[in-house]
Structure 1
Amino acid sequence: MRSGRPGPAPPGSGNGTMDRSLPEVHRSIGVPGRGRWVGRFLAFAGPGYLISVGYMDPGNWATDIAGGSRFGYTLLAVILLSNLMAILLQALSVRLGVATGRDLAQACRENYSKPVNLGLWIACEAAIIACDLAEVIGTAIALQLLFGIPLIAGAIITALDAFLLLLLMNRGFRFLEAFVITLLLVIALCFAFQIVAAAPPVAAVLRGFVPSPEIVTNPEMLYLAIGIIGATVMPHNLYLHSSIVQTRAYPETEAGRRNAIRWATVDSTIALMLALFINAAILIVAASTFHKAGHTDVTEIGEAFRLLSPLLGLGVASTLFALALLASGLNSTVTATLAGQIVMEGFLKLRIPAWSRRLLTRGIAIVPVVVVTAIYGDKGTSHLLLLSQVILSMQLPFAVIPLLRFVSDKRQMGVFVISTWVKTLAWLVTGVIVALNVKLLADTALR
């Protein structure tokens, strides 16, 4: 295995900007060297919220609604566990990007053979397509619910968002971050209102955060639990975070990098706590409305939309639900496009225009949605949405294991190598993910 470079290539060395992750915005945002901590915190605030988008995309909605309606508050423990996993893994992704000046895809390219890199690239592309599939379905459903646009037409319309990222990036990376944060606030406010309207019993909600053995012993519950993990811990987010943290122009010294790791980790942790609130809110609303009323088979977003207002007794509840779904789909489009660019450039050193890359990925995702909808109707898309999240979970080890190997390697990380207890905890998390995936495959094969 070839050893990786210990830090970012200085300007003008090697291949210049081609060596940098997302070269068009690399180190484009200034960081104050002195002053109050608030200034430094705000300078690093942003990338974590772009990452958090992947933890509350339309795929999460399907698994959270299905889990809440079918099993009440029980799977809240899985949402909490997966969020804690996400906080740890994203912190390691930040560390890799800041300490080495390389994103995860670049690190893989520099350290693994071409066949291994090709396999990892294919696995990551599959995860991005699965994520994009969820975005197409979620956005198309939101357009249908809000404006009455047929599902197939809505799926085709989503191809137009290929140009959204291009428009935002032309305004600057900070503008893109502000756009994403604004939509996140819309989602959070919509669900805060619904939580208040649903008035769930606090004691039952708190019990739901305590893990139950039934989660593992019940095959149907386990399938949904793995879907929640797949929908929450996104493999492409690990590539994305290790790249966009480098948009900050922190001092390229040991102290500068150490501060960058600290503040970027704080940023992602706060943002992921917002994701925890939204994911838990979706499940709690489903449990306190659908499960409580005896509607234990609600798995489709459209069905949830139709039932929400009558059960809560508020006409605006369903509209807010659909509005939040549309905001989620638009946000996910931005981050998936960025991740696709990072993965292609990092693994293959291949640069193509962002709009063409986006059209290609979105086109691949649209085809199965149109075909399944035409054959099976709206119900088929809900099964496709749940399946996409399980596929994402299956791809996790192919991103997590390389990440852990790199951040554990002192030759690459230098003084920023992770400690023994963090390494042990991270490998334990990886072991849990792999074990759950193996059990899911075994259960699926025996069905």
Structure 2
Amino acid sequence: MNKSLEEINNTVPIPDRKDSKLKKLIAFSGPGALVAVGYMDPGNWITSIQGGSLYGYLLLSVILLSSLIAMLLQSMCAKLGIVTGMDLAQSTKNLVGKKISFILWIISELAIIATEIAEVIGSAIALNLLMKIPLIIGVAITVLDVFLLLILLKYGIRTIEALVFVLISTIFCIFLYEVALANPNINSIIYSFIPSKDILTAHVEQGESAFFIALGIVGATVMPHNLYLHSSIVQSRRYNRKDKNALKEAIKYAKIDSNIQLSFSFFINCLILILGSALFFGKNPEDIGRFTQLYDALQDNSMVGTIASSSLATLFALALLFSGQNATITGTLTGQIVMEGFINLKLSIWKRRIITRLIAITPVIICVYFWDGKEDLVEKLLVYTQIFLSLSLPVSMVPLLYLTSSKKIMGKFVNCISASAVGWLSTGVLIILNSQLILETIKSSF
């Protein structure tokens, strides 16, 4: 079987065992940043903003639980890739055969396209806020970011990882600064990390239910394509594939890297929800929770008083643009992984990028055209892409848990009983919640 992402596989050198732990951690760090990007894309932003706007701090517990589940799943992905030398798509194909693999590839591609739609919308709105570029033109401009990835790939995976980490750090600092100025209620924030039954029952008039948004947060936080991505890019490190001690060390540092970076994404998503709550909670649901409104609020003294500033609004729009560009890099790499892994089809990066982006922008252009550039309706499409991601998540979670819980496949690196139990419980709960969402959607249609 071909190596996963062969062009970067086994290309990053690792220090000798005698070197310091810090040097080793730095060498292994990077894949976690690429994975964390998927947990803070524009889809996360819109669900977190709406959650904070409509329900205050209520859904912070959902972000916390989703992030903890994500850390568990991503550690399993890293372990799978390091131990087997295959990514999740390749391992799943070996498990289920060609016919089912083709179906799983279609579902995975649709999930990637849903992610791309979120990135397109976020980037187009950011361009509109920063330079007043019409949405439909901004959507078309996003096709050009294919050249960004092509240029970066020439400098190697470490350059991409470094750039992504810088952008993540910038986004984190921007939101930390803006939330600090908004002066939120710290005690209420702390208590909101304890799950409440109100998440299942709360509903405001003319707004989505708390449960609906909570499921969108889960779909936006635990990203299906990240499970494939992580299992592949951890193999970019040049460790001894036949030495069990080397594998153990690689798994250890991959987990540390992943958990550190996912902690960044957790804090960023919390900060976005807190900012949405600070600016909009308690106001008319029809007038809150959108990117444009948040941008305007950061400039409006009547809404935010002393924190209002055009520079704050500009920082917000820049962070949104960086988020979209960050996520577009990882989306392309993941598309290559699932295509090669499930159906053994290899395309050049630029062809893959152009095809995926053109497919993704088509529904956005149609929506922008028929909705005449109404940002609220366009952003609603973005929310629904996150719901689809949540619905498609079990398709990747179930094979991952089965594979990493198999002693035959993983040997001494098999999941411990508690990790498997939590993973299967999370999957079961998600399937039940998804089923309930489908029933509610059907009922509301009649």
Unaligned runs of 5+ in 1: 1-14
392, 396, 420: which one pairs with 1:395?
392
Q: Is the 8 A contact 1:71 1:296 kept in 2?
A: no
Structure 2 CA distance for aligned equivalents of residues 24 and 172 of structure 1: 9
Q: Is the 8 A contact 2:276 2:289 kept in 1?
A: no
Q: In the alignment, which of 226, 233, 245 is matched to residue 237 of structure 1?
A: 226
- Indicate the residue corresponding to 2:206 in structure 1: none
Choose from 101, 104, 122 the match for 1:138. Answer: 122
> What SS class does the counterpart of residue 144 from structure 1 fall into?
helix
Provide the TM-score with structure 1 as the length reference. 0.94
3-state DSSP of counterpart to 1:347: helix
Shift of 1:290: 1.2
Aligned residue for 2:326, secondary structure, equals helix
Give the aligned partner of residue 20 of structure 1: 3
- Once the 2 structures are TM-superposed, how far is the Cα of residue 434 of structure 1 from its aligned partner? 0.9
Alignment of 1:219-298 (within 5 A): 220-252=209-241, 253-291=243-281, 297-298=287-288
- What pairs up with 1:25-424 in 2 under 5 angstroms? 25-34=8-17, 35-218=19-202, 220-252=209-241, 253-291=243-281, 297-310=287-300, 311=304, 312-376=307-371, 377-378=373-374, 379-424=376-421
Which amino acid in structure 1 is aligned with residue 58 of structure 2?
A: T
The amino acid that maps onto 1:384 is L
- Deviation, 1:196, is 1.2
- Take 1:119 and 1:291, find their aligned partners in 2: how far apart are those partners? 42
Secondary structure of the residue aligned to 2:298 is helix
CA–CA distance in 2 between the matches of 1:259 and 1:309?
49
The match for 1:426 among 412, 423, 432 is 423
TM-score by length of structure 2 reads 0.94
After the TM superposition, list the runs of 4 or more consecutive aligned residues in structure 1 that deviate by more than 3 angstroms: 292-297
Structure-1 separation of matches of 2:110 and 2:345: 18
Provide the rounded CA distance (Å) in 2 between the counterparts of 1:431 and 1:254: 33
Q: Which amino acid aligns with 2:418?
A: W
Distance 2:150 2:310 in 1: 37
Q: Provide the C-alpha distance between the structure 2 equivalents of 1:249 and 1:30, rounded to a whole number of angstroms.
A: 5
Q: Give 2:8's aligned amino acid.
A: V
Moved more, 252-261 or 308-317: 308-317
* Matches of 1:145 and 1:203, distance apart in 2: 34
Aligned residue identity for 2:431 = V
**Preserved CA contact (<8 Å) 1:56 1:279:** yes
- How far did 1:415 drift? 1.1
Contact in 1 for aligned 2:33/2:261 (Cα 8 Å):
yes
Q: Which amino acid aligns with 2:33?
A: Y
CA distance in 1, matches of 2:201, 2:76: 31
User: Partners of 1:291 and 1:218 in 2: how far apart?
Assistant: 14
Aligned residues: 430
Quick one: structure 1 residues 278 and 296, their matched pair in 2 at CA, closer, same or farther if it must change by over 3 Å?
A: farther
Q: What is the CA-CA distance between 1:305 and the residue it aligns to?
A: 1.1
> Please, which of 437, 442, 445 is the counterpart of residue 445 of structure 1?
442
- Quick one: distance in 2 between partners of 1:319 and 1:41? 35
What is the deviation of 1:297? 4.6
Q: In the alignment, is the contact (CA less than 8 A) between 1:62 and 1:382 conserved in 2?
A: yes
Structure 2 distance, partners of 1:42, 1:96, is: 21
What's the offset of the Cα at 1:118? Answer: 1.0
Structure 1 residue 113: Cα displacement: 2.0
1:31-68 deviation digits (Å, cap 9, x = unpaired) = 11321110111111100010000000000111011000
Stretches of structure 2 lacking an aligned partner (at least 5 in a row)? 204-208
Taking only the aligned residue pairs, the percentage that are identical comes to: 45
2:297 and 2:368 map into 1 onto residues whose CA distance is 22
Deviation at 1:368, TM superposition (A): 0.7
Considering only aligned residues, what root-mean-square deviation do their CA atoms show, in Å? 1.2
C-alpha separation in 1, matches of 2:215 and 2:322: 25
- The DSSP-based 3-state class of the residue aligned with 1:309 is coil
Shift of 1:217: 2.5
Inter-partner Cα distance in structure 2 for 1:339 and 1:234: 11
Letter in 2 for 1:331: N
Write the deviation string for residues 353-376 of structure 1: whole angstroms up to 9, x where unpaired. Answer: 111111111101101111101111
Deviations 1:188-238, CA, capped at 9 Å, x for gaps? 111111011101011111122111101123361100000000011100000
